[in-house]
Amino acid sequence: MSVRNAVYAVYERRLRRHLDGLPVPQHVAIMIDGNRRWARAAGFDDVSHGHVVGARHIANLLEWCSEAGVAHVTIWMLSTDNLRRPPEELDPLLGIIAGVAKELSAPGTPWRVKAVGALDLLPAATAEALKEAEQNTAERDGLTVNVAVGYGGRREIADAVRSLMHEHAARGGTLEELAEVIDVDHIADHLYTKGQPDPDLVIRTSGEQRLGGFLLWQSVHSEFYFCDALWPDFRKIDFLRALRDYGARQRRFGA
């Protein structure tokens, strides 16, 4: 073991001790940002190489979350805005995402995959890969992994309201009747993440300190942690630091 790795191992054990007795977030949401910048900094002309390396790193994160006792993870892989990228960049990324869905749902893996996003905006092959991953893992009882693809917070809220209206109309109700009774719980029951707890902790890598539309509705009471590391460089100690920071906060929920 190199000196650097030895120091890293000691520091990791120290962080773990600091987590003893601290609350653990049940739902961690993460914006895996910085793949393209990582590729450029590493000297690659093709930025899709950064997405390949970043995709391989997802399984590590899920293992860390499982070890820590996290029950739900939401990973933002592709926004609705990202769909406007040029085909030479978008097409390889969509292929990588389909590969991630297949790997997460492969036999022997413990995770339950949930597709989160406007799948109707995606190419048919990508949407089908996400749907198959969800169907193939529906009976699993392991960590729930929300794969956010074609995701935008505003779009999600609009879709939730639209779904609620269609449901009400199918029951024979009128818009006037719906307007009289609609509340936040009705909308929450039609979000992509319906049935799941809202995220306790939202992490964004790459040094950016903004939501960019990520889980706008669900993150109203979330704690935020911004990390300078680009996603492919995000280490276990970075994750443990985020947990330590979360555990040390006093959550008041507006009180």
Q: Give catalytic residue positions.
A: 33, 82
Query: 120 φ, ψ to 5°?
Result: -70, -15
Tell me the C-alpha distance between 1 and 3, whole Å. Answer: 7
Of 198, 188, 200, nearest to 218 by C-alpha is 198
19 burial type by CB count under 10 A (0-12 exposed, 13-18 middle, 19+ buried)? middle
Contact 25, 243 (CB under 8 A): yes
Q: How many CB atoms lie within 10 A of CB 76?
A: 24
Tell me the C-alpha distance between 69 and 16, whole Å. Answer: 13
Contact 182, 162 (CB under 8 A): no
